[in-house]
Amino acid sequence: MWELYFEKSLILLILGWHIQFSETTYPWLEQVARQEDLTLGCENLSSTYRQMPNVSQLSHILVDHVHKLLYCYVPKVACTNWKRVMMVLTGQSNVTSLVSIPSNLAHANSSTVRLSDLSKEEAHKILREYTLFLIARHPFERLLSAYRNKFEDNITSSKYFQARYGKHIIKKYRPKASDDDLNSGANVSFPEFITFLLNEGVETNEHWTPIFNLCFPCALNYTFIGHYETMAQDAKTILDMVDAPPLVFPVTRAGRTRDRLRDYFQQLSIFNIEHLYKKYFLDFKLFRYGLEDLLGYELA
Ligand SMILES: *[C@@H]1O[C@H](CO)[C@@H](O)[C@H](O)[C@H]1NC(C)=O
Ligand SMILES: *[C@@H]1O[C@H](CO)[C@@H](O)[C@H](O)[C@H]1NC(C)=O
Ligand SMILES: *[C@@H]1O[C@H](CO)[C@@H](O)[C@H](O)[C@H]1NC(C)=O
Ligand SMILES: *[C@@H]1O[C@H](CO)[C@@H](O)[C@H](O)[C@H]1NC(C)=O
Ligand SMILES: *[C@@H]1O[C@H](CO)[C@@H](O)[C@H](O)[C@H]1NC(C)=O
Ligand SMILES: *[C@@H]1O[C@H](CO)[C@@H](O)[C@H](O)[C@H]1NC(C)=O
Ligand SMILES: *[C@@H]1O[C@H](CO)[C@@H](O)[C@H](O)[C@H]1NC(C)=O
């Protein structure tokens, strides 16, 4: 354990040195702790969890050959802005202000090369040589953010979710649904959404699929683990690491999702919260998140 700690510290110190350690105030000890929790958490899992995925499963990893940078995008974790960054880094866009890239363009499959587009040999070579990072977020906050964005917001992109999932959820999980609700699929409640996830699985859409299943953190060697909570600082550190041109990472207005977490989760039974926790267990454990804030205690 101490040996491992020492080894990681040393690596990160060297890394810190490389990016002009003296100039940066990045809290490397926090990064060491994140890496250590990930390594120890993964070592504890059976080898199937650490198995190298097929290249076709690596469709969430975006490739920047210019800066030798790989980003595993996780929906609902500032991924639109990071996709914009990747477009600028790879020369797909020349804008000076990142937010001027329309979000539908940033999300287009063609905006950036994906690791799954490459041959197995090339993908493995790149994984060994490039800087690989992801940004994690509290699993329940991410889930709530997805629910609010897709089922509460009255925006064009939520229409797809209401038609694709909303109608189904209301039909299946609301005993006496009105015809209006059945036809629009628009007002799925949070408990209904959670019942759907618990019954039909959390991998039904990338917006609520656990990070573990999108990014394979125990099979791939992540160079850097960012957190949503420290997004601006982490973005700067990552961009410095690969000598990216000066880019101002858009600071998204701190959402109110965290404050709302309690309000929404209070609508669920403790049984369902525990059940849901088990579904996102790896994301909680591997990325240092807990339920203390929400419940006042941790689930074992
Ligand atoms: C490893 O698993 C055991 C039991 O399953 C648990 O007690 C221990 O805390 C875990 N260690 C880490 C680092 O997660
Ligand atoms: C990965 O590839 C192997 C061999 O090509 C195949 O048997 C397996 O089903 C694939 N797994 C997935 C999840 O696609
Ligand atoms: C970006 O600018 C360069 C030089 O001005 C130009 O050659 C390139 O086509 C531009 N790329 C895009 C995507 O507009
Ligand atoms: C984008 O790529 C994903 C994963 O490869 C695929 O499932 C999806 O259908 C693609 N979307 C479009 C519009 O091509
Ligand atoms: C990750 O690092 C270990 C140890 O250096 C190495 O054995 C393994 O092949 C690497 N995995 C990938 C996917 O590059
Ligand atoms: C959603 O927006 C449309 C117009 O874009 C409007 O007609 C509709 O009444 C709105 N629905 C709700 C529930 O606010
Ligand atoms: C859904 O919306 C309809 C009208 O827009 C309303 O009558 C109904 O109570 C709503 N149901 C829920 C569960 O919010």
Residues of the chain above pLDDT 70, percent = 90
Residue 296 counted as domain residue = no
Residue 267 lies in a domain: yes
- The mean per-residue pLDDT over the stretch 105-112 comes to 90
Is 124 a member of any domain? yes
| Tens of pLDDT, residues 78-105 | 999 999 999 999 999 988 889 899 999 9
- The answer as to whether 217 is a domain residue is yes
Least confident segment among 18-27, 47-56, 132-141: 18-27
The DSSP secondary-structure symbol of 245 reads P
- Ligand 3: nearest atom to the Cα of 94: 1
Residues constituting the chain: 300
Q: What is the domain extent for residue 176?
A: 1-289
Q: What's the burial of 48, exposed, middle or buried (CB within 10 Å: 0-12/13-18/19+)?
A: exposed
Smallest-distance ligand from the CA of 58: 4
Residue 162's contacts (CB-CB under 8 Å, 6 or more residues apart) are 150, 151, 184, 185, 186, 188
Domain count, the chain: 1
Nearest CA to ligand 5 atom 13: 220
Q: Nearest C-alpha to atom 2 of ligand 4 is from which residue?
A: 109
Q: Residue 273: name the closest of 26, 127, 281 by CA.
A: 281
- Closest by CA position to 233, among listed 257, 249, 245, 216: 249
Ligand 5 atom with minimal separation from the 127 CA? 14
Decide if 294 is inside a domain.
no
- Residue whose CA is at the smallest distance from ligand 3 atom 4: 94
Residue 295 lies in a domain: no
Instruction: Reply yes or no on whether the pLDDT at 212 is more than 90.
Output: yes
User: In ligand 4, which atom is closest to the CA atom of 109?
Assistant: 1
* Structure confidence at residue 293 (pLDDT): 73
**pLDDT tens digits, one per residue of 251-281:** 766 667 777 898 999 999 999 999 999 999 9
Ligand 1 pocket test target in 1, 36, 37, 44 with most atoms within 8 Å of CB: 44
Q: How far is the centre of ligand 4, averaged over its atoms, from the C-alpha of 170 (Å)?
A: 27
DSSP character string of 144-178? HHHHIIIIIS-SHHHHHHIIIIIHHHHHHH-TT--
Rounded to the nearest angstrom, the distance between the alpha carbon of 44 and the centre of ligand 1 is 6
Residue 249's pLDDT is: 84
Q: Taking the model in full, what pTM does it have?
A: 0.86
Q: Is residue 51 part of a domain?
A: yes
**Pocket test residue of 51, 54, 59, 124 for ligand 2, highest count of atoms within 8 A of CB:** 54
Strand order from edge to edge, sheet including 224-227? 61-64, 69-72, 131-136, 224-227
Task: Tell me which residue of 66, 68, 104, 65 sits closest to 83, measured CA to CA.
Answer: 104
| Residue 32 covered by a domain | yes
Q: Could you tell me the CA-to-CA distances from 249 to 16, 237, 238, 245 in Å, in that order?
A: 21, 11, 11, 12
In whole angstroms, give the CA distance from residue 64 to residue 93. Answer: 13
Q: How far is CA 49 from the centre of its chain?
A: 18
4 pLDDT band, cuts 50/70/90, is very low
